Structure 1
């Protein structure tokens, strides 16, 4: 069978690949996107989207339990975990189907199969019908990543789960151990804890949410503990003894090992890139610790070959992958492309309370040699937060004392995953504290706290 010829072959249809394919097609290029499982990748099917649907159910349930506070009555409150999961899967399916529609609309050819690099500008794809050959001058690798498995702590889908099992639970956890307190671990801990599971979180580093500002981590930890979670920091799960309906975890803290029993364990200890079976070595692509090495334009060093998203390393975020996809498509089409600055990418965690940040933490800014001005504003000082019944939270801003540059912003509290974008735009526009102070924020909103946090950094806060 003769090889099909394209301008661009995209391998992987997650938030990096499908966006790269659509943008390249919009720029007049002939594009094919190869995906081995499902359009939308992990993000739409097993990550960002279905987890947010689950967490929304938990949030509504939590509010129902608080009905009395709002002068409302709700009796015999309960939930049906099966129905909660079904809604979550429906949300994912709707969006995954939407990508197929976008491909048609933008005239992107879509192939379901496993792709392998087969020499310069060549890709072979194993499909249900056999093997197809594709050729193109430009190939974009967007194969994503998967859950890291630690020896002895591997998931079995029965009592020890990865995020995939946690999204379609075979049983309802009553006593849950979550290994790892990054975004994925904390989100599942938050979800199941809200539904009444006795939840323990084990983190090997010295604090939960270790990539966040230390003050924000400490605030979040207090809230988690108030909700009944047990948080074990500087701790490590050494082994799991698996029984029929229980798991005994050996947890080491400060040299002492404690045995604890759980009915469910969720492992969330990071991710590894999907680099296998692609023919990377033969193509001369450099791989470092399961991630493809690229320059700031996502070029692999092999002519015409690019790598984007989780495959190309941290930060492992869907929005970073999408922007890299657009950048690479524009580069291929001969347009001027702007590299993505990791320091301008926001991170969001949808636990209860939410956590969001962009740029440097206070500690990182000081480490980098900056003299800093730091502002803080608590939710308890904001009218909208009190009216919402969400008075627990904090907004923190970090400025360069010399230039007024906004170095970083860090938040914990209701809806901060939406609020953070204000500071992201500010950083993109290279704002200083002066512009932020002169900006009129609407009242009553949570966003006013962003203004007050800036004012507070310069000793000018009004409401604190």
Structure 2
């Protein structure tokens, strides 16, 4: 038996490594088990590298429209290999940073695949770590390879932070060639001339935006009547209009019934309103959501309850088995990196005995980094009405904001929803330039239980995009100035 730990975390994604660092800060002897690469999917194949790709697309877009800014720039060109190389380099840099942080905080990194062998009672939880099928893949990290690896370990507390993977639909299984998941879409060997994106959630829309900006013909197929289904309907409609101006075609209330692969691409049969249309494209990106990585951990064997791949927990990450916890994507939606990080901190602080409160999932912001960006927190207008509250709704369009016009980004909307009786901010929904940075102002306001009066009397700097937030609040109460 190797060392016994106070806390052992399985998975080193944002939830896992942040939890490990916080555990070490609290004085726990801590270990982190990872089978592939530090930082997990988010850092290596998700949040971070996609933003690097989207930044390239944004600069390319501005170069193509340089005349709108009084500039004369020759027609821009790109090398997709260099675009991918930059994206992978960004991931490598941050991957290395995670390794340094773990080393600094004296967290042991155990390389391998974990399986929980024994749990419950007052004794330690036993975890076996099998040898990896392959060594950690690129990008490499600076954590020195230690003897820690295959073997048996014990811990008083085991936190499952194994994340999620792309959901696969029967008959439309990704093959890495013609049918892609986000893994392949993130590192194309060549730029496809056309593609179909199945699903219009954040992942699907971000890739649709990237590939269309870089010149591909893009069609997005969405099963529901609204793109970005979790967003406020009004904001989603503004986003759709702008994305259509970019050249993306949307098919909503539509189902991909069949995909046939050929030598030159794919044929996609789409059923919509009783009709069937066949789309031809070089590639199909499957972006129909993700599912939790709860298999091969022996969770059911030790009594942990798992439902549809999701580990059932209470508000503090605890399963019904003493000493076993779960956080992040594997513990259920919203499946977001920042949710995983905060959930992990709450979990380990509760283990320490600190006075913590369950996370308010209704106050977790969501962001989509397409062009234009979309961001939201709290209730949509429809959900607020369903709750039975009397509400006040404010709206302010970017066309009334001096900074937005100066930036050449006049298309956008900020929408705020208040409880009419108490002035409580129930939700905020934004679409437009840099709204993924603006949303945190509303998140903080909701966390501090700020009322409409507080927001109306706050001084927002001029000229900034943040003034649209102020004006939206003013509009909800009939006091808007610049519209």
TM category (shorter chain) comes to: over 0.9
TM-score where L is the length of structure 2:
0.95
Question: Where does structure 1 differ by over 2 angstroms across 4 or more consecutive aligned residues?
Answer: 127-131
1:158, 1:170 within 8 Å by CA — same for their partners in 2? no
Asked whether 1:265 is paired with 2:265, we answer no
The match for 1:76 is 75
- The residue aligned with 1:401 is 420
Q: Does 1:126 align with 2:130?
A: yes
Q: Give unpaired runs (5+ residues) of structure 2.
A: 120-124, 133-146
Distance across 1 between alignment mates of 2:66 and 2:259: 40
Task: Summarize deviations over 1:388-415 as a string: whole Å, max 9, x none.
Answer: 0000000000000010000000000000
The structural deviation recorded for 1:419 is 0.1
**Counterpart in the other structure of 2:144:** none
Aligned equivalent of 2:113: 114
Query: Given the alignment of the two structures, is residue 240 of structure 1 paired with residue 254 of structure 2, yes or no?
Result: no
- The Cα shift of 1:20 comes to 0.6
Aligned positions, number: 463
Corresponding residue of 1:324: 343
Cα deviation, 1:247-278, whole Å, max 9, x if unaligned, reads: 00010001211111111100000111001100
What is the DSSP-based 3-state SS (H/G/I as helix, E as strand, rest coil) of the residue aligned with 1:118? strand
Determine the C-alpha separation between the residues in 2 that align with 1:76 and 1:256: 41
Compute the displacement of 1:66 (Å). 1.2
Following superposition, the deviation at residue 100 of structure 1 comes to 0.7
Aligned equivalents of 2:14, 2:348: Cα separation in 1: 14
Q: What is the CA–CA distance in structure 2 between the aligned matches of 1:141 and 1:30, rounded to whole Å?
A: 17
- TM-score, normalised to structure 1, is 0.99
In the alignment, the residues of structure 1 paired with residue 24 and residue 35 of structure 2 have an alpha-carbon distance, to the nearest angstrom, of 21
| Structure 1 Cα separation of the partners of residues 191 and 88 of structure 2 | 17
> Whole-Å Cα distance in 2 between the matches of residues 282 and 182 of structure 1?
34
Partner of 1:199: 218
Whole-angstrom CA distance in 1 between matches of 2:308 and 2:190 = 35
Secondary structure at the aligned position of 1:462 is classed as: coil
Query: 1:283 maps to which residue?
Result: 302
Q: What is the 5 A alignment of 1:381-400?
A: 381-400=400-419
Q: CA RMSD in A?
A: 0.9
Equivalent residue number for residue 27 of structure 2: 28
Give secondary structure in 1 for the equivalent of 2:115. strand
- Conservation of the 8 A alpha-carbon contact between 2:378 and 2:427: yes
Among 154, 161, 176, which residue is 2:173 paired with? 154
After superposition, where does 1:85-124 map in structure 2 within 5 Å? Answer: 85-120=84-119, 121-124=125-128
Q: Is 2:433 the partner of 1:414?
A: yes
Separation in structure 2 between the aligned mates of residue 106 and residue 245 of structure 1, nearest angstrom: 51
Question: Are the aligned partners of 2:81 and 2:189 in contact in 1 as well (CA < 8 Å)?
Answer: no
- In 1: Cα distance, 2:88 partner to 2:189 partner: 15
Quick check: 1:299 aligned with 2:318? yes
Helix, strand or coil: the match of 2:269? strand
